[in-house]
Amino acid sequence: MTAALIDGAALARSLRAQVAERAAALTARGHPPGLAVILVGSDAASSVYVRNKVKDCEESGIRSVLQRLPEPTPETDLLARIRALNADPSIHGILVQLPLPAHIDARRVIETISPDKDVDGFHVASAGALMTGQPGFLPCTPYGVMRLLAHAGARLAGAETVVVGRSNIVGKPQALLLLQADATVTICHSRSHNLVAHTRRADVLIAAVGRARMITGDMVKPGAIVIDVGMNRDETGKLCGDVDFDSVREVASAITPVPGGVGPMTRAMLLVNTLEAAERKR
Ligand code: GUN
């Protein structure tokens, strides 16, 4: 069997078109959706991410405000800026790009963002809302993965799903979303014994570990749907996922490529969350 490709780039494009339509409607009524993006320092990868976010906003009719702050910015200054954005009615979403410089407490920064503007879904109130099934913003990557699974026709109710990785940004919220969809959920991580025994039972396997090509074909159940959240560079500097695409493609029924799978969806869901935040104010 050769797995079907789950085209995240195409799905993200159609989501952006929907966002653009709804953003235009808000703007026509005099309430353009607005996203504030704060970047502290000049980390190369973060600069690229932030530039992409601003570009995505432009293309979907969301007003973005980028604040670039120098690396030595004191935490108190950053917190004051966030409080000002919390109080600004033209701003509906606030995103502080991570990682932050070591002298800044990222937790304190995230908890200062008003939960109703927390379009990253990183605030403890957003995490608690997800845990207890209350409305709140979902972290963009696991939210995008759920959309990809729906698009791929995955039947989650009662299914065996395995999430490899337990981060606060992906693994944990991903597991909660799958649980909410009535899946049976196993979370594996770097300390799991006999990882392959778990992954081979998965009807839906989600890799979010950050290790190049660690999920190989022999670890996958024939016919499984495999979602690759990884974004790594291999020894030759080539972009690759956590999944060994070539061997897994021969075993799975559907698979996301890297690039062109989860990545574009993460970006699209930020736009969805920002639009949602703006619509909730209306
Ligand atoms: N750094 C890497 N990914 C992200 C993200 O999704 N949001 C924020 N704020 N920072 C990041």
**53 catalytic per annotation:** yes
Question: Could you identify the atom of ligand 1 that is nearest to the CA of residue 46?
Answer: 1
Q: What domains are defined for the chain?
A: 30-115 (3.40.50.10860), 140-263 (3.40.50.720)
pLDDT in tens, 160-216: 999 999 999 999 999 999 999 999 999 999 999 999 999 999 999 999 999 999 999
> What pLDDT score was predicted for residue 172?
98
pLDDT in tens, 89-138: 999 999 999 999 999 999 999 999 999 999 999 999 999 999 999 999 99
Q: Exactly one of 56, 117, 118, 120 is catalytic; which is it?
A: 120
- Residue having the nearest C-alpha atom to atom 11 of ligand 1: 98
**97 catalytic per annotation:** yes
pLDDT over 70 for what percent of the chain? 100
Output the ligand 1 site: residues, CB below 6 A.
49, 95-98, 120, 140
DSSP per residue, the chain = --PEE--HHHHHHHHHHHHHHHHHHHHHTT---EEEEEEES--HHHHHHHHHHHHHHHHHT-EEEEEEE-TT--HHHHHHHHHHHHT-TT--EEEE-SSPPTTS-HHHHHHHS-GGG-TT--SHHHHHHHHHT-S-PPPHHHHHHHHHHHHTT---TT-EEEEE---TTTHHHHHHHHHHTT-EEEEE-TT-SSHHHHHTT-SEEEE-S--TT-B-GGGS-TT-EEEE---EE-TTS-EE-SB-HHHHTTT-SEE--SSSSHHHHHHHHHHHHHHHHHHHT-
**120 catalytic per annotation:** yes
What mean pLDDT is reported for the chain?
Answer: 98
pLDDT in tens, 56-84: 999 999 999 999 999 999 999 999 999 99
- How close is the Cα of 2 to the center of ligand 1, in Å? 33
